[in-house]
Amino acid sequence: MEKNDIYRLLPRVDSLMKEKETEELIKEYGYDCVIDAVRSALNEARGEIGCCATDSEEKPEETVGRILAGIREKIRDILCGEKRMNLTRVVNVTGIILHTGLGRAPLGQEVLRNAGEIAGGYSDLEFDLETGKRGERCLNFEEIVCRVTGAEAAMAVNNNAAAMLLILSALASGGEVVVSRGELVEIGGGFRIPEILELGGAMLREVGTTNRTRPEDYRRAVCQETKAFLKVHTSNYRIIGYTRETTLEELAELKKETGLPVIQDLGSGVLVDLGKYGLVHEPMVQESVRRGADVVSFSGDKLLGGPQAGIIVGKKKYIEKMKRHPLARALRIDKFTAAALEAVFRQYLDPEKAVETIPVLRMLTRPAEEIHVDAEKLAERLRASIRAEAPDGAEGALITVEKCASRAGGGSLPEQDIPSYAVTVAPVDIPAGELAERLRKLEVPVIGYLSGEKLFLDMRTVDEKGAEQVAEAFRGGEILRKEAP
Ligand SMILES: *Cc1c(COP(=O)(O)O)cnc(C)c1O
């Protein structure tokens, strides 16, 4: 049979659309989606016919029969695949708490409830209930931020990069900003301090050296054009050894002499003393405010544990200026973020409770021994599940519990190894990399990491539901078989 004859055997779009089965699909997915799926399925079929090798074992009639028989199923598959959301919930067993690739900070139940409630209906987002007139956006949220941080005023924009852009545009455009050479930070994803300054229309005036910058260096750089001093928290690297950093207090002294504001990009925005929980003490927002920074910006979804946002706190006169800047309108947060931020900050009114209720802090401060118990439990469960199905007592994998190190991630606490425990899986019949790939392709993907010839599943970053999903992924040991499940 000639290829052209085979093509002619393919059903036509309109005849497929008229079939009873298709009618059912139209009811479920809508006419437009179904006709697109029909066309795609026919295209795929043509492609398959086109590349059918003439010397294949299969007779041409059989090939055609197979392709034709598969068309209706193909249409269904296409529609089904389209229906599934592209953004997929995954199980994070990497041990990296603020995994930027996996969405940084997960939100707690109460925060989600509040955000869902507000976003799902109308709210007084920009409405003054007192006067019945249009009001200012986010006042409720700002009040609570000031209360927690001790700042005079606050506002929020889309993320911390946006916050820096707004601060520099509003306070330093057309002038110079003095920054230490030790603090010209680059954060992943293309955020570099010198570039963000340029974008904000300000000139960078570098002072000092990589390891040492004295107050005198800042003082000498001040000229007619100077608009501000900028300090950047070196959140994702450390300079150690022979170092001298100019403190906020010292810059506050310079402010008294020059009248120039001190701006600080704090990065993570920690609001509790992490030192209390055996971690490195990260500079807290409250400390920056107390120590004399005029404007402080930080992320909402790093160690703060909230939604993506850039929060700016500080002196009222500077915050007012930023609120009036046209960029503020372009970078503003939506009601969902405003509601979530308010709910997270409310939890910080009681810091001890915050450590329990905010998932990022809970994961960060969980004692390793607790995680050890979870890991042993899951390991035993996986072994039992695999063994139950294994033919002749053969094991699909060697499963153990090992010590490992979790990380804060998100460019925070760069040197801190947080002791933790992982369930490790060394598959017998397939390479560990193949197992990692199969786990990534599940309906609920499980994301661990490879080390040696083993897959590590760090239990610090999963809750009970996550552990359940890992167990489900390994049920019956099918995922470990030589032939793909
Ligand atoms: C992470 C970080 C940023 C960028 O914050 P986003 O909220 O990711 O935009 C800026 N500056 C510092 C010092 C940071 O650590």
The CA angle 158-139-362, to the nearest 5 degrees, is 60
Atom of ligand 1 nearest to the CA of 268: 15
Mean pLDDT, rounded, for 20-42: 92
Architecture of domain 91-97+365-480: Alpha-Beta Complex (3.90)
pLDDT value at residue 82: 77
Q: Which residues line ligand 1 (CB under 6 A)?
A: 159-161, 185, 187, 191, 232-233, 235, 265, 267, 299, 310, 411
- For 71-127, write each residue's pLDDT tens digit: 888 998 888 887 777 889 999 999 999 999 999 999 999 999 999 999 999 999 889
- For 406-426, write each residue's pLDDT tens digit: 999 988 888 899 999 999 999
d(CA 214, CA 153): 30
Atom of ligand 1 nearest to the CA of 234: 13
pTM score of the predicted model = 0.88
Residue 188 CA, ligand 1 centroid: distance in Å: 9
The CATH classification of domain 109-357, taken from the options 3.40.640.10, 3.40.50.300, 3.40.1190.20, 3.30.390.30? 3.40.640.10
Residue nearest to atom 2 of ligand 1 (CA): 267
**For 181-323, where are the E strands, in sequence order?**
186-187, 191-192, 203-207, 226-232, 262-267, 295-299, 310-314
Q: How far is CA 80 from the centre of its chain?
A: 27
% of the chain residues with pLDDT over 70: 96
The structural domains of the chain, with segments of one domain joined by +, span: 3-82, 91-97+365-480, 109-357
Residue 298 CA, ligand 1 centroid: distance in Å: 7
Mean pLDDT, rounded, for 238-258: 95
Residue 330 CA, ligand 1 centroid: distance in Å: 19
φ and ψ of 76, to 5 deg: -60, -45
d(CA 118, CA 123): 6
Atom of ligand 1 nearest to the CA of 300: 7
- For 326-356, write each residue's pLDDT tens digit: 999 999 999 999 999 999 999 999 999 999 9
φ and ψ of 75, to 5 deg: -60, -45
Residue 283 CA, ligand 1 centroid: distance in Å: 14
The residue to which tokens 């059912």 are assigned: 24
% of the chain residues with pLDDT over 90: 77
- Name the residue of 265, 295, 296, 312 to mutate for ligand 1: max ligand atoms within 8 A of Cβ: 265
pLDDT value at residue 389: 67
Residue nearest to atom 1 of ligand 1 (CA): 267
